[in-house]
């Protein structure tokens, strides 16, 4: 569970060919980072995988099955939005439980899954609080908790830390990496931050104008960049 293959995936918005054609294999359990400058198509590619946008061409295969035409909820993936996507009037418990309630899961199972997720994310003591009573990092963990309870075959993150400040960002990077080690679930993580890519990824996908410039481990990209774009991008942290 958790393998994703893109075959000649393309996306056109009006006249703009935002993604000309992408082939990519993501293996079960991998931590894959999509990195590239603003506007290069990272979010679009993630949204295509999630099913939040329809492809203009090509095929998306998830766990061996053609998912190109499947609705987002049928793909077995969980998208983690930035922490401000929490429901402010609901407790942490109800925020995490929300997708399970929507899916009609019975109460005992919801309670068990929320308890398990809270334990993994160190939120056990915060379940009855409202989002505004939490720190930025705790809110981010609640957003992740809402994804965990659905036991997805992959987590999709779109710049989840971009509205957190310096020290907290570093902390959350570590927490997400640790979560990946614990759950061993495929994660696709979008960022424009080279440091984030280099420190978190098993595999980095460097994007430029909707094309893949190079795919490789952080070490491979650093020691054998295929071209000047990759060398410049990976070699020059902000």
Interface with Mg ion (CB under 5 A):
43
Closer to Mg ion at the Cβ: 35 or 96? 35
CB of 43 to Mg ion, least distance (A): 3
Token representation of residue 131: 């989002």
Strand 31-35 relative to strand 203-208, pairing: parallel
CB of 56 to ligand ADP, least distance (A): 12
Distance between CA 217 and CA 187 in Å, rounded?
A: 15
Distance between CA 196 and CA 173 in Å, rounded?
A: 7
Closer to ligand ADP at the Cβ: 38 or 181? 38
Binder of residue 145, out of ligand ADP, Mg ion, none (CB less than 5 to 8 A by kind): none
Closer to ligand ADP at the Cβ: 41 or 225? 41
CB of 157 to ligand ADP, least distance (A): 12
Instruction: Using alpha carbons, list the distances in angstroms from residue 20 to 7, 44, 98.
Output: 12, 12, 37
Token representation of residue 142: 């609640």
CB of 227 to ligand ADP, least distance (A): 19
Binder of residue 102, out of ligand ADP, Mg ion, none (CB less than 5 to 8 A by kind): none
3-class SS at 84? helix
Q: Are 194 and 181 in contact (CB under 8 A)?
A: no
Binder of residue 39, out of Mg ion, ligand ADP, none (CB less than 5 to 8 A by kind): ligand ADP
């Amino acid at each position: 569970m958790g393998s994703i293959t893109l075959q000649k995936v393309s996306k056109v918005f009006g006249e703009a060919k935002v993604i000309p054609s992408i082939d990519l294999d993501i293996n079960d359990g991998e931590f894959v980072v999509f990195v590239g400058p603003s506007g290069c198509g990272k979010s679009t590619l993630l949204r295509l995988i999630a099913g939040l946008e329809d492809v203009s061409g090509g095929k998306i295969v998830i766990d061996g099955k053609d998912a190109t035409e499947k609705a987002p909820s049928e793909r077995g993936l969980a998208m983690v939005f930035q922490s401000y996507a929490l429901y402010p009037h609901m407790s942490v418990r109800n925020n995490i439980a929300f997708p399970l309630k929507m899916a009609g899961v019975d109460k005992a199972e919801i309670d068990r899954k929320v308890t398990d997720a809270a334990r993994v994310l160190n939120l056990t003591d915060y379940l009855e609080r409202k989002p505004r009573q939490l720190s930025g990092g705790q809110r981010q963990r609640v957003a992740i908790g809402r994804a965990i309870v659905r036991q997805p075959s992959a987590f999709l993150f779109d710049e989840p830390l971009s509205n957190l400040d310096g020290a907290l960002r570093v902390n959350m990077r570590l927490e997400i990496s640790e979560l990946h080690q614990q759950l061993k679930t495929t994660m696709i993580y979008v960022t424009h931050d080279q440091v984030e890519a280099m420190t978190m990824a098993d595999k980095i996908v460097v994007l430029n104008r909707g094309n893949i410039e190079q795919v490789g481990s952080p070490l491979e990209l650093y020691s054998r960049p295929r071209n000047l774009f990759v060398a410049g991008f990976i070699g020059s942290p902000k």
